[in-house]
Amino acid sequence: MELKFPFLADRQLESAATELLRRPEDLKDHHCHAKGCTAKVPPERLMCFRHWRMVPQDLQNEVYRHYRRGQCYDLQVTGEYLQAAKRAVQAVEHAESRR
Protein backbone atom coordinates (compact mmCIF):
# COMPACT_ATOMS: atom_id res chain seq x y z
CA MET A 1 0.00 0.00 0.00
CA GLU A 2 1.44 3.26 -1.18
CA LEU A 3 -1.04 5.75 0.17
CA LYS A 4 -0.65 6.79 3.78
CA PHE A 5 -2.97 8.88 5.88
CA PRO A 6 -0.96 10.12 8.85
CA PHE A 7 -3.88 12.26 10.00
CA LEU A 8 -5.86 9.11 10.67
CA ALA A 9 -4.67 7.44 13.83
CA ASP A 10 -6.89 4.44 13.44
CA ARG A 11 -5.53 1.52 11.40
CA GLN A 12 -8.99 0.43 10.38
CA LEU A 13 -9.80 3.87 9.08
CA GLU A 14 -6.56 3.99 7.19
CA SER A 15 -7.45 0.83 5.34
CA ALA A 16 -10.90 2.27 4.65
CA ALA A 17 -9.27 5.41 3.27
CA THR A 18 -6.93 3.45 1.07
CA GLU A 19 -9.81 1.43 -0.23
CA LEU A 20 -12.11 4.36 -0.82
CA LEU A 21 -9.72 6.89 -2.21
CA ARG A 22 -7.50 4.47 -4.06
CA ARG A 23 -4.72 6.16 -5.99
CA PRO A 24 -4.67 9.83 -7.03
CA GLU A 25 -4.63 8.87 -10.69
CA ASP A 26 -8.02 7.29 -10.18
CA LEU A 27 -9.49 10.77 -9.88
CA LYS A 28 -9.20 11.13 -13.64
CA ASP A 29 -11.05 7.91 -14.05
CA HIS A 30 -13.15 7.75 -10.95
CA HIS A 31 -15.80 5.10 -10.62
CA CYS A 32 -18.55 3.96 -8.30
CA HIS A 33 -17.37 2.56 -4.96
CA ALA A 34 -19.98 -0.16 -4.81
CA LYS A 35 -18.33 -3.55 -4.96
CA GLY A 36 -17.73 -4.70 -8.51
CA CYS A 37 -19.31 -1.64 -10.10
CA THR A 38 -17.34 0.01 -12.89
CA ALA A 39 -19.73 2.88 -13.61
CA LYS A 40 -17.86 6.15 -14.01
CA VAL A 41 -18.91 8.91 -11.64
CA PRO A 42 -17.52 12.38 -10.87
CA PRO A 43 -14.87 12.22 -8.10
CA GLU A 44 -17.16 14.08 -5.71
CA ARG A 45 -19.72 11.30 -5.92
CA LEU A 46 -19.24 8.19 -3.82
CA MET A 47 -21.36 5.99 -6.05
CA CYS A 48 -23.29 5.87 -9.27
CA PHE A 49 -26.97 6.77 -9.04
CA ARG A 50 -28.14 3.19 -9.18
CA HIS A 51 -26.11 2.20 -6.15
CA TRP A 52 -26.56 5.46 -4.25
CA ARG A 53 -30.32 4.86 -4.39
CA MET A 54 -29.78 1.64 -2.43
CA VAL A 55 -28.15 3.50 0.47
CA PRO A 56 -30.63 4.20 3.29
CA GLN A 57 -31.62 7.85 3.59
CA ASP A 58 -30.09 8.35 7.03
CA LEU A 59 -26.79 6.97 5.81
CA GLN A 60 -26.89 9.22 2.74
CA ASN A 61 -27.37 12.18 5.07
CA GLU A 62 -24.45 10.99 7.15
CA VAL A 63 -22.18 10.89 4.09
CA TYR A 64 -23.29 14.38 3.02
CA ARG A 65 -22.86 15.78 6.50
CA HIS A 66 -19.18 14.81 6.62
CA TYR A 67 -18.39 15.53 3.00
CA ARG A 68 -16.02 18.40 2.42
CA ARG A 69 -15.75 20.10 -0.95
CA GLY A 70 -12.42 19.34 -2.57
CA GLN A 71 -11.62 16.39 -0.36
CA CYS A 72 -11.23 14.15 -3.41
CA TYR A 73 -8.40 16.33 -4.63
CA ASP A 74 -6.38 16.91 -1.49
CA LEU A 75 -7.39 13.59 0.10
CA GLN A 76 -7.93 15.31 3.44
CA VAL A 77 -11.05 13.45 4.41
CA THR A 78 -12.30 13.07 7.94
CA GLY A 79 -12.56 9.82 9.83
CA GLU A 80 -16.28 10.47 10.15
CA TYR A 81 -16.62 10.68 6.39
CA LEU A 82 -14.70 7.46 5.85
CA GLN A 83 -16.80 5.66 8.38
CA ALA A 84 -20.03 6.88 6.80
CA ALA A 85 -18.75 6.07 3.30
CA LYS A 86 -17.70 2.62 4.37
CA ARG A 87 -21.08 1.96 5.91
CA ALA A 88 -22.79 3.15 2.74
CA VAL A 89 -20.69 0.76 0.64
CA GLN A 90 -21.53 -2.06 3.03
CA ALA A 91 -25.24 -1.20 2.90
CA VAL A 92 -25.20 -1.55 -0.88
CA GLU A 93 -23.29 -4.80 -0.64
CA HIS A 94 -25.86 -6.09 1.80
CA ALA A 95 -28.80 -4.96 -0.34
CA GLU A 96 -27.30 -6.59 -3.43
CA SER A 97 -26.61 -9.87 -1.67
CA ARG A 98 -30.30 -10.21 -0.85
CA ARG A 99 -31.37 -10.24 -4.48
Sign of the torsion angle spanned by Cα atoms 69, 75, 79, 85:
positive
Q: Is 51 in the site for Zn ion (CB under 5 A)?
A: yes
DSSP 3-state of 31: strand
Burial of 71 (0-12, 13-18, 19+ CB in 10 A): middle
Q: Is 92 in the site for Zn ion (CB under 5 A)?
A: no
Q: Is 32 in the site for Zn ion (CB under 5 A)?
A: yes
Query: What is the 8-class DSSP label of residue 27?
Result: G
Only segment of 4-12, 13-21, 45-53, 59-67 that touches Zn ion (CB under 5 A): 45-53
Q: Is 37 in the site for Zn ion (CB under 5 A)?
A: yes
Q: Is 8 in the site for Zn ion (CB under 5 A)?
A: no
Interacting residues with Zn ion (CB under 5 A)? 32, 34, 37, 39, 48, 51
